[in-house]
Amino acid sequence: MNNEEIAKKIIQLKNADLEFRDKLIQNGQLDEGYNEEMANLHSRNAKILDEIIDTIGYPTVDKVGKEASEAAWLIIQHSIGQPYFMKKSAELLKIAVNESKANPKGLAYLTDRIAVFEGKPQLYGTQFDWDENGEMNPNQYDDIAKVNQRRKALGLNLLEEQTEIMKERVKNENRQPPTDFEKRKQEILEWKKKVGWIS
């Protein structure tokens, strides 16, 4: 496959992912645990993208164009059942960012996501989830002033502003918090152990 065909392939994978996510939102199923069909789709996409990365390296804009490069990032961001692949991709993305070939915002989101799965505080406050009060709030992060400083350096809004946007978004998508917060917390913990985020 040449790079143009690879770009098309990556965009197809992303579209399949987002179409399925929309379907879950419409059926009110997005927040009911990690949907098995969605988990399989994410793993399948990760496997295909991993093979592409082994062939061409990280899919930067100069290799596959802006749309496919952003699509690749989304696939990586959603490859939550594949810790090794997500961490490997983050390392490659870091190199690409240092060479000014990729967007540092993408790296911030990916770094935070990995931190959340590993039970560590996030640096940029990009990852959100339902809290025990049924509110959509950022996952654990370190010092708010430092978080906002880092966000500002990347051209992101303040965490307080982003929190309002996220609350508005889940309202617009008619998403509901989990009915049993403790049960969901336990399920997430077991899932993290099962796929290898934590031991």
pLDDT in tens, 57-76: 999 999 999 999 999 999 99
Domain boundary among 62, 77, 102: 102
Range of the domain at 195: 103-199
Q: Is the per-residue pLDDT at 8 higher than 90? A: yes
d(CA 123, CA 151): 9
The predicted model scores a pTM of: 0.93
Specify the long-range contacts of residues 76-79, CB closer than 8 Å, at least 24 apart. Answer: 76/46, 76/49, 76/110, 77/109, 77/110, 77/113, 78/17, 78/42, 78/45, 78/46, 79/42, 79/43, 79/45, 79/46, 79/49
- pLDDT tens-digit map of 125-152: 999 999 999 999 999 999 999 999 999 9
DSSP 8-state class, residue 162: H
Whether 163 and 199 map to the same domain: the answer is: yes
Whether 61 and 113 map to the same domain: the answer is: no
Whether 110 and 22 map to the same domain: the answer is: no
Considering just the CA atoms, what is the radius of gyration of the chain in Å? 17
Whether 134 and 193 map to the same domain: the answer is: yes
Whether 90 and 184 map to the same domain: the answer is: no
Portion of the chain with pLDDT greater than 90, in percent: 88
